[in-house]
Chain A
Amino acid sequence: MNRTISALGFGLKFLVAHIGVVAGFGLMLQGMVISGCSGGGGNEAGSVTVYVSEDQVFSEPILNDFAKETGILVKAVYDTEEAKSTGAMNRLIAEKNNPRADVYWANEPIRAEVLKQKGISASYISPNSVDIPAVFKDKDGFWTGFSARARVIVVNYGVKEPPESILAYTDSRWKGRSVIANPLFGTTTSEIAALFTIWGDEKAENFMKAMKENEVALSTNNGESTDFVASGRYDFSLVDSDDAVNRMRQGKPVRMIYPDQGENETGCFIVPNAAVLIKGAPHPDAAKKLIDYLLSGETERKLAFADCAQIPLHSGVGIPPELKPIDELKVMQVDYAEVASKLVKIQPFLKAWMEL
């Protein structure tokens, strides 16, 4: 009995002596659990979780507008594509058995195809996808493209007769004067995989080898390639249209050419964003509303006039003067599902090519 009383007394003294630490610690943890569960104060039923591979500076304003217009709280995880660190895509794959995300905003359809192949996405055909050309959406509704980048040739002003085809990379006239981004990542990989699907393996491999023999330089990303061209270190590079437009708006001495627009030429590779519904999404209704919003003409208009300068896939949407409407472009006719499969198969070749 005495021991029990003593123990109780000791416990009381302990609590009194350390009430500040214990209370603060407990409040902190409690705050974190509550804020984590409620997502910072919003109603769980009125929220949507989106994983985003599009750059945060461009995607966040769109998501904020959606939240304001619908009252649905948006909780986002953003990617760090530039830093090549693991991000949204890998989280989705890692969380496959217990999905936390409702929607995935991919910055290229290849990622969306990978999710479909891994059984992570679900089919949803949005009413806003009707006017989007068939080549830019999955036929079963597992992803739908919107707001695209074009793969373009950015050329320094000082170049008198600029190249108009990607075959310029193998032209001896440009030996040592061209640069391309690391082909193991991003849109460069996607375009190379696309060439493999339309040219065949042999022709595509020969093209890559000839590029190396023509002393093409490698950069870490499209932005760096564009900066190299702007500084005059190289004459041209194959980059995304948003990188080129971005530097043009900054007044850098570069211009943009849509390659291979001739009659028997391949056309330029288009890289749309893609909206994906996640299989087993915790909030499917809010997810569908978000996808409808992303696929709307208004979103495409905003992304066209933002610094990302992305080309709307709906016809009739206003665009800035630096861009061409999608229906005025000769587009490379590819099957993105085939490109996604080919991308994985050519990785050993690309790794070996890097070591040449």
Chain B
Amino acid sequence: MTRRNFLLFIVVLFLVAGLLPVISMLVKSIIADGVFSLESYEGLLSSKRQWMLMGHSFLLSTLVTTLSMAVGVPLGILFEKTDLPFRRLFILLFVIPLLIPPYIIAVSWFYLLGGDGILAHAGGTGLLISGIVSRLLFGLPGCTFVLFSIYLSIPMLLTMIFLRTVNPRLEEAARLVSGVRGVMKGITLPLVMPGLLLSAMLVFLLSFGEFSVPNFLRYDVFPVESFTQFSAFYDFRAATAASVPLVGVTLILLLAEAAFLRERTYQLNPTPEDEMLPPIRLKKKRNLILILVSMICFVVVIVPFIALLTRAGGPDTYVEAIGRARGSLLRSLLYASAGATILTFFGFFIGYSIETGALSLRWSLDSVTVFLFALPGTVIGIGLISLWNTPWTNFIYSTPLIVIVGYLAKYTALTSRITVAQLGRIPQSMEEAARVAGAGWFRRMIFIMIPMARRGLIAGWLVGYIFSLRDTGITMLVYPAGHETLPVRIFTLMANGAPELIAALCMIMVTATLLPVGFAWFIPGLVRGRGT
């Protein structure tokens, strides 16, 4: 099999898994009783309520993006360019909320600030503060804060990554005529602007399509409309139509990214460690900045976990939680591991296709992966049911394989982009030399490219594992009866389940997510290396 045929085969499999269900849903939304009909779309955005919901979504996303950038970019600069102590610890802590299901963060703030929360039971001042703050928690302020705390690390990390790509000689030359601030303003920030815009776009898209947090904190946003059609009216055509504006916004931003940013965000050439400039010394301001960063970290990261731990109570609750959810936990780990492996496999070859241009549709392929990532999980889930629920495909639909297909559809963008970034750093001459020496493509992949991309593959596997583990939107719709995962079980038990039990299950979920990440972080060279 030639390179092209193999890559085409991989791409076709991915499109069948990911795009075909969505196309199936879109087609069904315009066919009523065998006849073409736009009836489902006629009422779209025609009522005041729908425009109100759309306005809410835009407002929420804009606020979250603005706050995340305002705090995340300076944090990225501090951690990458200065001598602030405990930088690696702070980076790890700030990333944690991104790794766990968003509604768990919302739940933990509810346990702290809700009417029956920890603060309310504290009495006195605690009760007074709880009374005031709990009203803010439910609504736009609470949603904004929770989503900000989750997505803050995206601009932080991307700022750090793009700062590494700035040629230090330019900064060095600029420092001859200007101070640190001037260099930052005139040289560094303009050069990393594509990365900042990319992070703003990502945060906007993710918060725009987010449903679980606004739903839990009772702030009506546009994704509610799609779910209302499912939940209240069982109208799949209308629900698909209701998700089209979300798809439209996603496409517009993707087109903008493709037009203005793609070339500048793909080819990342980080500066080697030994060529980097020495860190900027914070001198007298060091302690003050350390205290400020610590406070932000405490509020955004530590407090919600303290709330969860406090609510969960003692070991007995955890024992009961594990006893009741042991099967769900094991299934979650199994499905996430399998999903991560499949995602890494497909992500590698799709990323290879994009990076090398081995297939002519490289940018279309990239856009499809990102499009599917931004699409609400419910649309993909219903599409999977409509496509795969047939007597001839029961061997997929009635088994956990359908869940893995869902992960493949939704999260391939992550592993493919990690692969692209990693492959971009491997000199093409390595593969070319092997080719000249007579090695076929498969041998070059197995013995040259994959070993050299090892760190990227491990990082991709970890990212695929985390997102597969935390998934609820698709899993909730397609998991075979009796095979629910832990996030689904937490969600279903939230209805009248004991808060202590829910809190304990959330902590177990967090631990299951963070363990492999921590393992990889603390083993030198496994993922982190020069310039990683």
Q: Which residues of A contact B (CB under 8 A)?
A: 10, 14, 17-18, 25, 28-29, 31-33, 35-37, 39-40, 49-51, 55-58, 73-87, 89-91, 93-95, 97-98, 100-101, 114, 184-185, 189, 220, 223, 227, 231, 246, 307-308, 344, 347, 351, 354-355
Contacts and interface: CB of A to CB of B under 8 A. Distances in A.
A79 B493 CA distance: 10
A355 B233 contact: no
B492 A36 contact: no
Nearest to A115: B234
Nearest to B226: A86
A32 B399 contact: yes
Contacts of B232: 184-185, 189, 347
B495 A55 contact: yes
A86 B231 contact: yes
B476 A37 contact: no
A94 B495 contact: no
Nearest to A54: B495
Contact of B231 (A25, A57, A84, A347): A84
Contacts of A39: 480-483
B310 interface: no
A350 to B, nearest CB: 9
B389 interface: yes
Contacts of A17: 446
Interface stretch (B59-67, B275-283, B335-343, B421-429): B335-343
A84 B397 CA distance: 24
Interface in B318-336: 327, 334-335
A223 B335 CA distance: 34
B401 A32 contact: yes
Contacts of A87: 231, 476
A184 B228 contact: yes
Contacts of B155: none
A227 B116 contact: yes
Contacts of B497: 55-57
13 contacts: A32-B401, A36-B401, A39-B482, A51-B481, A56-B489, A75-B482, A80-B494, A84-B215, A86-B227, A90-B231, A95-B389, A101-B481, A227-B116
A14 B446 contact: yes
B385 A95 contact: yes
Contacts of B389: 94-95, 97-98, 100
Interface string B467-504: 00000010011011111100001011111111000000
Contact of B492 (A10, A78, A231): A78
Given A32-B335, A98-B389, A101-B481, A80 B399 contact: no
B338 A28 contact: yes
Given A10-B443, A56-B495, A83-B491, A29 B338 contact: yes
A355 B446 CA distance: 61
Given A80-B492, A89-B234, A101-B481, A94 B382 contact: yes
Given A28-B334, A114-B234, A347-B232, A83 B494 contact: yes
B395 interface: yes
B218 interface: yes
- Give the size category of B's interface with A: 35 or more
Contacts of A78: 484, 492
Contact of B481 (A56, A77, A85, A231): A77
Contact of A57 (B115, B327, B493): B493
B481 A84 contact: no
Given A17-B446, A32-B399, A86-B476, A307 B335 contact: no
A91 B496 contact: no
B398 interface: yes
B482 A55 contact: no
The residue in B228, B389, B394, B496 that gathers the most chain A C-beta atoms within 10 A of its C-beta is B496
Contact of B227 (A10, A32, A84): A84
Contacts of A56: 489, 492-493, 495, 497
A80 B335 CA distance: 21
A354 B49 contact: yes
A31 B480 CA distance: 14
Contacts of B115: 227, 231
Contacts of B230: 85-86, 90
Contacts of A79: 492
B216 interface: yes
Given A83-B215, A83-B216, A231-B115, A36 B398 contact: yes
A351 B43 CA distance: 13
B287 interface: no
B154 interface: no
Contacts of B49: 351, 354-355
